[in-house]
Amino acid sequence: MTLQELIDHPCAWFVDHACGEVAISSRIRLARNVAGYPFPSRAEPVQLREIRHNVLRTLSQLDLFDQGWVSETDEVSARDRMLLFERSLMSREHMENEESGAIGVSRDEQDVVMVNEEDHLRLQVVRPGLSLESAWEEMQTLDASMEEHVDYAFSSKYGYLTCCPSNTGTGLRAGVMLHLPGLALLDEVRPVMRGLAKMGLAVRGPGGEGSDADGFLYQVSNQVTLGRSEQDIIGELHQVVDELVTHEYNARLRLEEVRPNGLRDKVGRAAGILQNAWELSSKEALDLLAMVRLGLAMDLLAVEEEHVVERLMIEVRPAHLQKLAGKELNPGERDRFRALRVRSKLAELRKGPKL
């Protein structure tokens, strides 16, 4: 499979959830290191290449990746790495590190192995919707298949040994991407986040640490990785996310009650701008698409093509846009091409039964 074939598919984990659902995707990541080698930050280049060679050999023996896409990072152009980052297939750190890295992605993009990131191995499983348990099931299979070929650095006291102490133990980061426009419109995201932080959960924009919450997309994940079992960590996160989802639906109901006109104004303006704009920045497009997504979920808007908004939420990002255009675009050209793409895709967007 080539990279082009991979990205020609719609981004399944982002798109395949039920329309308008609050929980967009669930992600499980495991940090693992290979026994007998220093962690990437202190390893010699020759050691990193050795690890990469061994892991790539392993990946070629696993059907999951053999039928998917596997590459050394330095063979992927900077723009394509950015594209993989926009699709959450690569971390920011991995995108920026050209040396000795490698990546394996399954055909459906739901299983990913990153080689020589902060740790020798980062395993990732992403599933659409709120499906942490099934992602964890899949992850255990992936972890076990890797372990057959690779000896992990492990201590009976500390568990899986990782470069950063914040990952020590299970090496597990479980996260759910949530779309929270209702809470955002009611200015309630901040207090909710403070509450989550007190519970030891992290809330971030979708690109991971330090990224903005463009499009009202938030990622809620565990911080504690040691002293608790994977099932406990995942179970608690699931419970909190369930509550958050209810909270978001309640916020939408309250909006309808308290600010029916304000809500319609926001959704209607978003649709109007997206259908008529000739220049759109990435942030503006994402924020407005988020409002349209809210409008579709609340029957204020309607559209024939399923998941058209979700697809656009990926396509309007800079690297994706340039891939679509088939050439390099400067920021101004991108804004015009983005507006063109959105206009044509949303031409059929119309009023819903409740507007």
Partner 1 sequence: MKCEHCDQTATVHVTRVAQGKVHKVHLCEACAQKMGMGPSPSSTGSGPTVADALLGGGMSGSVSSPHRVRRCPGCGLTLRGLQKEGRLGCAQCYDVFGEELDRILRSIHDAVEHRGRTPGEGVKRQDLGRKMDVLQSRLTRAIEAEAFEDAAKIRDELQHLQTTLEAKLEENRKASGNKEVYPS
Say how far apart CA 44 and CA 194 lie, in whole Å: 41
What are the b/e assignments for 18-30, b being 16+ CB within 10 Å?
Answer: eebbbbbbbbbbb
230 belongs to the binding site for partner 1 (CB under 8 A): yes
SS (H, E, C) 292-305: HHHHHHCCCEECCC
Q: Nearest approach, Cβ of 216 to partner 1 (angstroms)?
A: 17
Give the integer Cα–Cα distance in Å for 349 and 1.
35
d(CA 92, CA 82): 9
Residue 153 main-chain phi, psi, to 5 deg: -75, 120
> Which residue in the set 84, 161, 251, 290 belongs to the binding site for partner 1 (CB under 8 A)?
161
Q: Which CB sits closer to partner 1, 32 or 81?
A: 32
Which residue in 8, 157, 278, 326 binds partner 1 (CB under 8 A)?
157
Using the contact rule CB under 8 A, the part of the chain among 176-184, 202-210, 249-257, 282-290 near partner 1 is 202-210
Distance CA 236, CA 214 (A): 26
**Minimum CB distance to partner 1, residue 59 (Å):** 12
Instruction: From 217-225, 279-287, 311-319, 345-353, give the range in contact with partner 1 by CB under 8 A.
Output: 217-225
- Considering only 175-183, 196-204, 300-308, 320-328, which stretch makes contact with partner 1 by CB under 8 A? 196-204
The span from the CA of 328 to the CA of 31, in Å, is 35
* C-beta closer to partner 1: residue 101 or 295: 101
Q: Which of 210, 152, 201, 193 is nearest to 174 (CA)?
A: 201
CA pair distance 170, 112, nearest whole angstrom: 18
Q: How many residues does the chain have?
A: 355
User: Nearer Cβ to partner 1, position 161 or 313?
Assistant: 161
SS3 category, 154: strand
Query: How would you classify the pairing of strands 159-160 and 154-155?
Result: antiparallel
Binding-residue total with partner 1 (CB under 8 A): 59
Nearer to partner 1, 165 or 260 (CB): 165
Q: Least distance (Å) from partner 1 to the CB of residue 230?
A: 5
Residue 204 C-beta: closest distance to partner 1, Å: 9
Residue among 104, 106, 127 nearest 114 (CA): 104
In the block, which residue shows the tokens 């990541």?
29
- Other residues' Cβ atoms within 10 Å of the Cβ of residue 201: 21
> For residues 31 and 289, which CB has a smaller minimum distance to partner 1 in the complex?
31
For partner 1, the binding residue among 45, 46, 156, 330 (CB under 8 A) is 156
Task: Report the site for partner 1 in 95-134 (rule: CB under 8 A).
Answer: 106-108, 118
x/- binding map, residues 283-322, to partner 1, per CB under 8 A?
----------------------------------------
Site string for partner 1, 164-183 (x = CB under 8 A): xxx-xxx-x-----------
DSSP string of 203-256? EE-TTSTT---GGGEEEEEE---SSS-HHHHHHHHHHHHHHHHHHHHHHHHHHH
227 makes contact with partner 1 (CB under 8 A):
yes
CB of 33 to partner 1, least distance (A): 7
Rounded least distance, CB 34 to partner 1, Å: 10
Block residue for tokens 């701008």: 273
Interactions with partner 1, residue window 34-93 (CB under 8 A): 35, 37-39, 41-42, 62-64, 67
Task: State which of residues 1, 12, 186, 202 lies at the interface with partner 1 (CB under 8 A).
Answer: 202
Residues in touch with partner 1 (CB under 8 A)? 33, 35, 37-39, 41-42, 62-64, 67, 106-108, 118, 140-141, 143-145, 147-148, 150-166, 168-170, 172, 193-194, 197, 200, 202-203, 209-210, 223-230
